[in-house]
């Protein structure tokens, strides 16, 4: 529809019709079978609200969506189409690895491609918007949602956020098979206190503006259709009523012109946070702050009309919000075709599965290998653990993914005729743990996901362990249950589920040749497992093609190339920990390790067990110290950092060359270092390549003592290397000065 017609449409709408566009309801008001991703609570929409609500979340199934759309449009006075939204977080039917795993690939092109498939599949079923990507920087693996983030680094979150967004939206020209993306949770939710879901956030303004806002700043340039307000408060003002954040920073400074949607119930929650005396005040505060869509709270549907009639909210403000929503629908092509993109592509196509497999392979991170991997496909190996015959490689955020589409490791191994002995050994969770995690709908896990293992005699399973001898090699595939990560899945302990820990001990008593493959939605407390394993491969929640990826990597058909997007802590007590933690005084020095008067724990090291950016390969790489030259002058000044990377081993593989910056001396305390560029390089043995990173002067800007931006005259150091703790060399310089 052209802009004139769209404006005409808006001007003909009644106030209720307009308010309807600003209300999002879950699919259960339209169909009993919708997926619920939150609590319905007090939301009891009147009949007019259901008739005019502008968007629906969590509804699935092309035929159902088509029927709801047809009925809705017929009854709507202006026949405005509904917009169906859902949490398509890491795939619709073809499930890619969780975002944290995707980030470990350090391969944005693959992330982009996976998002394109997700968009095509979702769109073909009628879903035209997703609440993704989540670019919440997180250094706290207790938080269940770290699985949905791109990890601990602001820059990596930004790069991957852009890649995913562009994959969904098609470089900003949404239409056809494209869907609208949504950057979330604006902003800082990854710093949730103590890693506890729905907790508040306490951050310095500087850290908030620099590190936590950085991915949003970066990704807003990719023109997201929506931004979602987070649940928490920033400097004690909840985001959904935070005018400074939404109006001045997001719309003003960052120039965001799309739709602002609240998180589920976040507007109504202002009352619970005791910053609004009731739902009416909550609605007023959120509308004044510029929140365009109220997702599933009673506030807008019950009070916005009254607030306009009383003159407390101007109708022109309502018009601005509705205009943005109508524009989004228009960009999606819904006015021309309310079924745009439907039935245009098939789900689980061979190409989509190939993409998911590649991403799953590149997401896995090999953090330890004492020469045991890769295994020889001819050698006798035991594969043990509950994940070898499980299809549970998806996640709680794969809400439309189906376990039936996931192959098991057992099937993959048998399909390749690899001679192995299989010992599932135990359930993923004990009955007590199943209860704690509300896993499997209260049904015993065998009846739920692991249906085919219902009649297993566990004593007999354990009996298999007795066959393992001292010189045998065992691949143990262990990890968290799907229910243990995602939304509302914070953990205080990051250990293996109890039965699996027992199984590990049992195996470790028989042989030391253990390869542990870890399935998880977060970094776990791995130290004890690491001490007694000869190799560890972190596979995260690898998605539909997870089993294939794991088998390929273990047998060396692919070389691992993933790097940690979030470091593995030494133990839970070290959390939160990150490579970019602020520089301190009382620094621990290698020259005087016995000094107790320094910033340290007395009982553990200061460094994580495996740091950000770390990951091994089956081949070796050498990176040369960096060279630097400057280009341009003044505002246009750029720093060009170059180095060479060479595959010095005897098999092909990929290295991620990482470039970090630190301030040598600044008026304020700053992060120890920050990732500023990276490049994944695939090389055949003996081959080398020159890498150059061009960095704009403005990328070095930070806030000074009075929050004034400092954009030059500060001595800086750039290091290049293959992890945050392993530099090949460094170069010092000053922007705005001479080399
Ligand atoms: C609440 C979550 O915080 C958010 O990320 C999600 O998109 C919505 N629920 C909708 O399911």
CATH of the domain at 682: 2.60.40.10
Q: Is there a contact between 596 and 695 (Cβ–Cβ < 8 Å)?
A: no
Q: How far, in Å, from the CA of 251 to the mean position of ligand 1?
A: 22
Enumerate the H helices of 364-408 as residue ranges.
none
- 655: tokens are 């290295």
Other Cβ atoms within 10 Å of 501 Cβ, number:
15
Instruction: Identify whether 232 is part of a domain.
Output: no
pLDDT at 444: 43
461 lies in the same domain as 556: yes
Of the candidates 638, 627, 647, the one whose C-alpha atom is nearest the C-alpha of residue 698 is 638
Indicate which atom in ligand 1 lies nearest the CA of residue 134: 5
For 506, counting Cβ atoms within 10 Å of its Cβ (0-12 exposed, 13-18 middle, 19+ buried), the class is middle
**Å from CA of 398 to ligand 1 middle:** 13
729 CA to middle of ligand 1, Å?
A: 43
Task: Tally Cβ neighbours within 10 Å of residue 336.
Answer: 11
Alpha carbon distance 552, 265 (integer Å):
44
Question: Rounded to the nearest whole angstrom, what is the distance from the C-alpha of residue 80 to the centroid of ligand 1?
Answer: 25
Residue 403 lies in a domain: yes
Q: Do residue 366 and residue 441 come from a single domain?
A: yes
Domain count, the chain: 2
Q: Give yes or no: residues 538 and 642 share one domain.
A: no
Which regions in the chain score pLDDT beneath 70?
Answer: 171-176, 441-463, 737-739
Q: By alpha-carbon position, which residue is closest to atom 3 of ligand 1? A: 263
Ligand 1 centre to CA of 252 (Å) is 25
Q: Is residue 528 part of a domain?
A: yes
Write the residue with the smallest CA distance to atom 7 of ligand 1.
Answer: 131
Smallest CA separation from ligand 1 atom 4, residue: 263
**37-46 burial, b for 16+ CB within 10 Å, e for fewer?**
bbeeeebebe
Q: What is the pLDDT of residues 521-542, one digit of tens each?
A: 999 999 999 999 999 999 999 9
Dist. CA 264 → ligand 1 center (Å) = 6
Measured between alpha carbons, how far is residue 431 from residues 435, 486, 506, 519 in Å?
6, 21, 20, 20
Residues 553 and 630 in one domain: no
Spatial CA neighbour of 82 closest among 312, 338, 358, 337:
338
Domain that holds residue 650: 621-734
Whether residue 635 is found in the same domain as residue 519: no
Query: Using CA positions, which residue lies closest to atom 11 of ligand 1?
Result: 37
Asked if 538 and 640 sit in the same domain, the reply is no
73 domain-assigned: no
* pLDDT tens, position by position, 589-607: 888 888 899 999 999 999 9
User: Residues 532, 639: one domain?
Assistant: no
**Nearest ligand 1 atom, CA 58:** 11
Q: Are 472 and 513 in contact (CB under 8 A)?
A: yes
List ligand 1's pocket residues with C-beta within 6 A.
37-38, 57, 87, 131, 184, 263-264, 487
Rounded distance between C-alpha atoms, residue 322 and residue 17, angstroms: 10
554 and 423 in one domain? Answer: yes
Q: Which atom of ligand 1 is nearest to the CA of 148?
A: 5
25-30-33-36 Cα dihedral, nearest 10 degrees = 10
State residue 494's pLDDT score: 98
Pick the atom of ligand 1 nearest to 38's CA. 9
State the DSSP string of 346-373: -TT-HHHHHHHHHHHHHH-EEEEESS-P
- Evaluate whether residue 480 is within a structural domain: yes
Residue having the nearest C-alpha atom to atom 1 of ligand 1: 264
CATH number of the domain to which 513 belongs:
3.40.50.1700
Does residue 250 form part of some domain? no
Considering the domain architecture, whether residues 559 and 416 belong to the same structural domain is answered as yes
| Cα 644 to middle of ligand 1, angstroms | 43
Q: Whose CA is nearest to atom 9 of ligand 1?
A: 264
Examine the domain organization and report whether 638 and 496 are in the same domain. no
**Residue 384: beta bridge partners?**
423, 476
Instruction: Note whether residue 544 is domain-resident.
Output: yes
Residue 159: predicted pLDDT: 98
Co-location of 532 and 426 in the same domain: yes
Tell me, yes or no, whether 664 and 549 share the same domain: no
What pLDDT is recorded for position 171?
54
Could you say which of 540, 564, 588 is where a domain stops?
564
* CA 703/CA 54 separation, integer angstroms: 41
* Final residue in a domain of this structure, among 516, 546, 564: 564
In a domain, 152, yes or no: no
Length of the chain: 739
**How far, in Å, from the CA of 86 to the mean position of ligand 1?**
9
């Amino acid at each position: 529809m052209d802009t004139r017609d769209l404006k005409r449409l808006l001007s003909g709408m009644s106030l209720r019709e307009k308010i309807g566009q600003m209300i999002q309801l879950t699919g259960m008001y339209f169909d009993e079978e919708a997926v619920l991703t939150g609590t319905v609570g007090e939301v009891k929409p009147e009949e007019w609200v259901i008739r005019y609500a502008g968007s629906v979340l969590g509804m699935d199934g092309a035929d159902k969506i088509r029927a709801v759309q047809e009925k809705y449009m017929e009854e709507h006075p202006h026949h405005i189409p509904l917009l169906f939204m859902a949490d398509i977080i890491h795939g619709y039917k073809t499930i890619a690895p969780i975002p944290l795993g995707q980030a470990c690939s350090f391969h944005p092109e693959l992330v982009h491609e996976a998002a394109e498939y997700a968009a095509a599949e979702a769109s073909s079923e009628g879903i035209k918007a997703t609440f993704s990507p989540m670019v919440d920087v997180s250094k706290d693996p207790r938080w269940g949602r770290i699985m949905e983030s791109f990890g601990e680094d602001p820059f990596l979150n930004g790069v991957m956020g852009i890649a995913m967004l562009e994959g969904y939206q098609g470089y900003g020209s949404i239409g056809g098979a494209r869907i609208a993306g949504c950057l979330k949770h604006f902003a800082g939710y990854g710093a949730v206190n103590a890693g506890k879901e729905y907790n508040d956030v306490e951050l310095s303004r500087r850290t908030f503006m620099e590190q936590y806002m950085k991915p949003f700043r970066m990704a807003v340039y990719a023109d997201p259709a929506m931004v979602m307000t987070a649940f928490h408060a920033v400097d004690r003002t909840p985001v959904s009523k935070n005018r400074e954040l939404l109006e001045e920073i997001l719309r003003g400074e960052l120039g965001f012109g799309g739709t602002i949607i609240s998180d589920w119930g976040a507007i109504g929650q202002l009352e619970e946070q005791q910053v609004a005396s009731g739902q009416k005040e909550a609605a007023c505060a959120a509308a004044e702050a510029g929140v365009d869509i109220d997702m599933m709270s009673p506030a807008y549907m019950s009070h916005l009309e009254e607030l306009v009639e009383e003159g407390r909210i101007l109708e022109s403000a309502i018009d601005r919000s509705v205009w943005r929503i109508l524009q989004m629908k228009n960009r999606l092509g819904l006015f021309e075709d309310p079924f745009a993109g439907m039935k245009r592509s098939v789900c689980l196509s061979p190409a989509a599965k190939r993409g998911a497999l590649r991403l799953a392979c590149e997401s896995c991170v090999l953090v330890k290998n004492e020469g045991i991997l890769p295994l020889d496909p001819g050698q006798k190996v035991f594969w043990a653990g509950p994940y070898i015959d499980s299809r549970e490689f998806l996640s709680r955020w794969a809400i439309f993914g189906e376990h039936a589409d996931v192959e098991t490791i057992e099937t993959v191994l048998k399909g390749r005729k690899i001679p192995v002995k299989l010992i599932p050994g135990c359930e993923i969770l004990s009955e007590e743990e199943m209860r704690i995690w509300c896993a499997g709908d209260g049904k015993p896990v065998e009846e739920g996901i692991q249906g085919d293992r219902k009649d297993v005699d566990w004593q007999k399973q354990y009996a298999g362990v007795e066959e393992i001898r001292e010189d045998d090699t065992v691949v143990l595939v262990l990890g968290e249950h799907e229910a243990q990560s995602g939304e509302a899945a914070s953990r205080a302990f990051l250990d293996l589920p109890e039965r699996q820990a027992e199984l590990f001990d049992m195996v470790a008593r028989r042989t030391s040749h253990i390869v542990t493959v870890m399935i998880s939605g977060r970094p776990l407390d791995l130290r004890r497992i690491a001490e007694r394993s000869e190799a560890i491969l972190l596979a995260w929640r690898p998605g539909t093609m997870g089993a294939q990826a794991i088998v390929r990597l273990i047998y060396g058909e692919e070389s691992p190339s993933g790097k940690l997007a979030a470091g593995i802590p030494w133990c839970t007590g070290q959390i939160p920990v990150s490579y970019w933690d602020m520089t301190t005084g009382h620094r621990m020095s290698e020259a005087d390790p016995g000094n107790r008067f320094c910033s340290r724990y007395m009982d553990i090291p200061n460094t994580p067990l495996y740091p950000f950016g770390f990951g091994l390969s089956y081949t070796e790489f050498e990176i040369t110290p960096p060279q630097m030259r400057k280009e341009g002058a003044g505002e246009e000044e750029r720093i060009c950092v170059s180095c060479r990377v060479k595959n010095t081993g005897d098999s092909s593989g990929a290295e991620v060359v990482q470039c970090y910056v630190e301030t040598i001396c600044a008026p304020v305390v700053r992060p120890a270092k920050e990732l500023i560029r990276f490049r994944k390089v695939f090389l055949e043995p003996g081959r080398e390549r020159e890498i150059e990173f061009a960095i704009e002067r403005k990328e070095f800007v930070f806030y000074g003592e009075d929050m004034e931006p400092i954009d030059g005259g500060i001595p800086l150091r750039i290091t290049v290397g293959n992890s945050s703790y392993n530099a090949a060399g460094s170069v010092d310089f000053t922007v705005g000065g001479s080399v």
